[in-house]
């Protein structure tokens, strides 16, 4: 999935980089959302957040 998004993004920016993952966890509980994001972070080695529930701080930090 990440590679497909990168392929599309490279059409307008050949130097695009993945710095994190943003997900919509509105259909699950807060605890399930945190567990899911932690799992994605561990699997991909990238910060994962639901920007509505958790804010975007982890993604901003990844930019620095």
Residue-wise pLDDT tens digits, 17-61: 999 999 999 999 999 999 999 999 999 999 999 999 999 999 999
Q: Does residue 55 lie in a domain region?
A: yes
pTM reported for the whole predicted model: 0.84
Cα gap 27→32, rounded to integer Å: 10
CA 1 from chain center: how many Å? 12
Q: Does residue 1 lie in a domain region?
A: no
Number of domains in the chain: 1
Q: Which domain holds residue 43?
A: 19-63
Cα gap 46→12, rounded to integer Å: 23
For the chain, helix (H) and strand (E) counts, in that order, are 4, 2
Helices assigned H by DSSP within the chain: 2-9, 30-44, 51-54, 57-63
């Amino acid at each position: 999935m990440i590679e497909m998004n990168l392929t599309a993004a490279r059409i307008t920016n050949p130097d695009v980089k993945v710095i994190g993952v943003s997900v919509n966890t509105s259909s699950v509980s807060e605890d399930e959302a945190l567990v899911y994001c932690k799992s994605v972070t561990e699997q991909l080695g990238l910060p994962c957040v639901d920007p509505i529930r958790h804010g975007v701080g982890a993604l901003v930090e990844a930019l620095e």
